[in-house]
Structure 1
Amino acid sequence: MQHEGTDTKRPASAGNVTRAALLGLCGGMLLGGLLLLGMGLKTRMTPTDCTDLSELECGTTREADQDLSRMQLLSGAALLALGAAVVVLVRSKGSPASH
């Protein structure tokens, strides 16, 4: 007895599994890029808390925060671009022709 949801005529090929894995990986890269962009913007926009720090320590902390936010923004943008490029590449190839 065969279930209605299964298709025994066409088994899943390795190409379809690879394509699905690549699309899942790209989704993770896109989400990670968005998260890094958001964290970088938050780090850049929020002022540094210097209540218990000396003037020198506060300046150093501000510079470190600025460098960290710049790195987060660049890394997030790079992840978004890489994820989008791989999505376009995978989607443009389409499914392999069945014989």
Structure 2
Amino acid sequence: MQHEAKDSRPSGGASGLTRAALLGLCGGLLLGGLFLLVQGLRARMAPMDCQDLSEVECGFIQQTAEEVGRMQTVAGAALLALGCAVVVLVRSRGRSATP
């Protein structure tokens, strides 16, 4: 009778892959959130060029840019918070599973 060879890899191989995928997803969330946050702040703070526009058009574009910038800022901050929360969750599970 031949004995089956035991696999030298740890039994948590699938969980390691899942953990790596979650950390990659968190990296994307953090980078995307940071990008949106910066773009939103830049859209809200940057002065508008209204040389070739009427006063009404300029006001409308300024209002629109401010509202879009506000939404980008909120969405970016939310993505950053979500990414940080998932990083903390993944790291705390990794520490509790390791003896």
Which category of TM-score, normalised to the shorter sequence, fits these structures?
A: 0.7 to 0.9
Q: Structure 1-normalised TM-score? A: 0.84
1:32 correspondence with 2:26: no
Structure 1 unaligned regions, length at least 5: 1-7
Q: Which has the higher helix share?
A: 2
Which structure 1 residue ranges, 4+ long, deviate > 6 Å from structure 2? none
The one-letter code matched in structure 1 to 2:17 is: V
Q: Structure 2-normalised TM-score? A: 0.84
Find the counterpart in structure 2 of residue 59 from structure 1: 59
The one-letter code matched in structure 2 to 1:10 is: R
Find the counterpart in structure 1 of residue 72 from structure 2: 72
Structure 2 unaligned regions, length at least 5: 1-6
Quote the offset at 1:9 in angstroms.
Answer: 1.4
Percent identity, please: 60
Find the counterpart in structure 2 of residue 3 from structure 1: none
Find the counterpart in structure 2 of residue 49 from structure 1: 49
Root-mean-square deviation (CA, aligned residues, Å) is 1.7
Quote the offset at 1:97 in angstroms.
Answer: 5.1
| Partner deviation per Cα, 1:13-43 (whole Å, 9 max, x = no partner) | 1111000000000011001111111111111
| Partner deviation per Cα, 1:48-93 (whole Å, 9 max, x = no partner) | 1111111110010000000011001000000000000000001000
The alignment covers a number of residue pairs equal to: 91
